[in-house]
Amino acid sequence: MSIFSKWFGTQEKQEHTMVAFATGTMCHLSETPDEAFSSLSMGNGVAITPDRPSIVAPVDGEITMIFPTKHAFGLVTEDGIELLVHMGIDTVNLKGKGYKYFKEVNTKVRAGEKIVDVDIDVIEKSGCNPIVMMIVVNENGYDFTYEANGSVKKGKSVIGRYEIKETMQ
């Protein structure tokens, strides 16, 4: 905290980044082929069509849940931001087939740390879309901006930024 912040009771803006959770081609969540996600009714975010199997943490946080069907997991940051990483469309029907987890619930992870491998061939041969979506389900007082569409590399490419919302005094 700076001396200015102490004297005037203001909070310094601190920008946080989110990294690509997969290697592949990124788009905004509104451009995904599933109405449940593209409508943004669950929250805002991005999606990546993966060309490699590894899915990594987009932020530092704690894994709070792994769906029994293994097609999705939840993360919470220290700032209380809740993220859902959903791997594939209609993959709930695979009942866990094609997913290998390296982390468990209540495990702390760092941005870029591997959480799960997705067998893209199994997903596609089952008639499902392998696109991986990250949904911010609870912004917890932060403003989010997302990077432009394009090619991204897991753990390296910045896909979004967030900072505390400015409040009117």
- Catalytic residue list contains 86: yes
Rounded-to-integer distance, Cα 1 and Cα 108, Å:
26
Among 16, 28, 71, 86, the active-site one is: 86
- Assigned token pair, 10: 């203001």
- Assigned token pair, 84: 């859902």
Measured in whole angstroms, how far is the alpha carbon of residue 80 from the centre of its chain? 14
Distances (CA, A) of 155 to 23, 56, 116: 8, 7, 13
**Which has the closest alpha carbon to 124: 67, 35, 50?**
50
- Assigned token pair, 150: 């394009």
| Strand ranges (E), 61-157 | 61-66, 72-76, 82-89, 99-101, 108-109, 114-118, 129-138, 142-146, 150-152
**Which has the closest alpha carbon to 94: 65, 136, 123?**
123
Show which residues are catalytic: 86
